Chains A and B, each alone.
Chain A
C-alpha cells in the first residue's frame, strides 16, 4: 500500500494534514473537544488588543495545551502591509515562535487577499526571520512569487473565508500544487467533509479550516468527519484514481452467460 509521508513545513514535521482555527466556538470547552476530535496539531489564533475593561476573564490560550498543539498566530483583519507586519511581530513576541499565517486583506465583503500587499509583507517578514505562511488567492503566478519571496508554504483559498462554498476552482488549486515546491495548504472555504476530501484529492499537502468545524451543528462530530475526510482524500490521491470513462464498462465477466 502507498506509504504517506508526514506533512513537512520548513523542516518541521506534522502528524496531521488538518490545521484548525480557534474562532467562532460557542465556548472554550467546545473548542477543545473539537480540536481533540480533529486530530490536528496546528491551531491558528488571532492577535488582538487586550480588552482592558474585562481583565479577569481567562485567556483563550489557557485552554489550549501548548505542549500538544503548535500555535500559529495570524494577521487576520489587517488591511495594509504595515498593520500585518506589526501584528506578526506582536504575535511572535507573544507566541515565541517565528511562524505566522500572513493575511493582508483587500476587500471587506469578500475578505479576498490583497496579493500585492501580501507579497510585500512576506518579503519584509522573511527578511526578519519569520516562517511565513501566506493566505493567498488561487492564482499560481502569485503563489510562485510568494515561494520566490521565501514563504514556507502557500495557502490558497478554496472559496471566501467563512463561506463554506467548498472548492470553487479545483483546477487553479491543482495548478498551484504543480507550480510550487513548498507545501500547499488550502485555507478557507471548506464547508463539509466532501469539500475536504475533494481538496485533498487534488493533491494538496494540507487543509486549514475554522468555520467549517466551529459553525457545524455538532462541531465535535464535524471535526472527526473532517479528520476522516482529509485522511480519505489524501489516501485516494496517493492511490491514484481510476480513469474517467464516458460509457459503462462492465465489472462482471461478459462471457459465460447462461443461455
Chain B
C-alpha cells in the first residue's frame, strides 16, 4: 500500500494503482470531474495509465453552483 493525499485527506491505495482505479474506488468514476496530481492536470485520456506514487497530492474537483 502507498499513502496519498486526496482533497486534503490521507488515503491508502494499492501500490501500482492508477487515477482510474482511485476514481472507481471513490465511487466517482462516472462523474464529470477533473484531477490534478502534484499541481499538474491529469488528462482524462490518461487516467488509465497515470500511476499513483507514495506521497502524491491529488485534487479532484467538480462543478457546483456558483455565480
Task: Give the interface of A toward B (CB within 8 A).
Answer: 21-25, 31, 44-50, 52, 55-56, 59-61, 71, 73-74, 76, 86-87, 89-95, 161-162, 188, 208-211
Contacts and interface: CB of A to CB of B under 8 A. Distances in A.
Contacts of B41: 89-90, 93
B9 A94 contact: no
Residue among A73, A76, A93, A208 with most chain B CB within 10 A: A93
Contacts of B61: 47-50, 87, 90-91, 94
Interface of B: 6-9, 26-28, 31-36, 39, 41, 43-44, 59-67
A56 B9 CA distance: 19
Contacts of A55: 26-28
Contacts of A24: 65, 67
Nearest to A89: B41
Given A24-B65, A76-B67, A91-B63, 8 more contacts: A45-B66, A46-B65, A46-B67, A48-B64, A86-B39, A93-B44, A94-B34, A211-B67
B26 A52 contact: yes
A73 B67 contact: no
Contacts of B33: 50, 94
Nearest to A71: B63
A81 B25 CA distance: 33
Nearest to A209: B67
Contacts of A44: 66-67
A71 B34 CA distance: 15
A186 B32 CA distance: 30
Contacts of B39: 86
Given A93-B43, A94-B32, A60 B64 contact: yes
Residue among B6, B32, B41, B65 with most chain A CB within 10 A: B65
Contacts of B64: 22-23, 45-48, 60
Residue among B9, B43, B66 with most chain A CB within 10 A: B66
A28 to B, nearest CB: 8
A113 to B, nearest CB: 14
Contact of B62 (A23, A48, A92): A48
Contact of B65 (A25, A161, A188): A25
B66 A74 contact: yes
